[in-house]
Amino acid sequence: MLHIIWDLMTIEFVIVTGIALIFGTWVGFYAAKPRSLKGKHVMITGGSSGIGKYLAIECAKNGAHVSLVARNPALLEEARAEILKFASAAEQKVSCFSTDVSGPYEQVERTVLQAEEELGPLFLLANCAGYAKAARFEDTSVEEMKKLMAVNYLGAAQFSRAVISGMKGRREGSIVFVSSQGGLCGIYGFAAYAASKFALRGLAEALAMELKPYNLTVTVSFPPDTDTPGFAEENKDKPEETRLISESAGLFSPETVAKLLLDHSLKGKFISTVGLEGFLQSTVCAGMSPVTSFVDLLIQVFSMGLVRLVSAFYLFKFDRIVVKCMENRDKKKRSL
């Protein structure tokens, strides 16, 4: 009996290895080579602060012209002055556009058109605009749910739609979506927020398939908690359960997230993550996501079972946190 089981495992290993090698070879042949940003135009929504601003700084260091999109004109000008300090050439430009990403589509189109008139054809669009609201689902208003979807999902969808035709015509370009680890795993207090971030992954996967024949790449980032003004605002009224669970992934700097995101995007990688937690989550949630890295594919194929087991322990830990917090609240009520 053991002999039969061993033979079956050997056959499975050979089949899986063969499939991985075939796909790896195919992806390696067609994958986009690392690209240069020198003299190229990069547009970043949410570029006045947080990950967006530091991504703009990294693009400026790499010689790109940058257009920043956000709502607050004063913050945009402050960010512009800071980003220009990191420009690698005197002729580099940074332009600002005060636009609500969730506003009318006609306004989004005008913003893209004006930016391209000033800085040239768009090479990379980074959808960084977004916000988080942590609350139990029944405590989240329908208006808040609509706003989360409008800003986090529809804002990215609108700008992406506005730039796609031009990129396809030029047969070059990249679109980046900044999701969240909450876009890979829904946790307590993030029901409405996670839905808006999960939506970005679905959009990115479908868009990657549509744009691949035109030599365009799509990258979706799943950052953990990042030390930004938005994160500080989010923490003001975050449920204790949400705070304790999200703390397990650690707190990262926006500089770290931005550097990795730009590197992954220029290499044409579909998934961009930071830290051990991000690696575990992206591996166990790989599913039918586009294959853009032979190494990542092999890791997913041979570690999926083990990583799934590790993730089960994490989920058990999260469930215990939720139960413990509930017990503590009940104890406080009884003591009153």
CA distance from start to end of the chain:
63
Catalytic residue annotation? 179, 193, 197
CA pair distance 191, 46, nearest whole angstrom: 23
CA pair distance 188, 196, nearest whole angstrom: 15
Q: Which long-range contacts (CB under 8 A, 24 or more apart) does 206-212 make?
A: 207/160, 207/175, 208/270, 208/290, 209/290, 211/164, 211/167, 211/168, 211/175, 212/290
CB 123 within 8 A of CB 114: no
Short-list 74, 126, 124, 128, CA closest to 98: 74
CA pair distance 140, 145, nearest whole angstrom: 7
Number of Cβ within a 10 Å radius of residue 64 = 26
- Residue 235 has which token pair? 């923490």
How would you classify the pairing of strands 122-127 and 41-45?
parallel
Q: In what order do the strands lie in the sheet with 216-221?
A: 94-98, 65-70, 41-45, 122-127, 173-178, 216-221, 271-272
CA pair distance 326, 336, nearest whole angstrom: 16
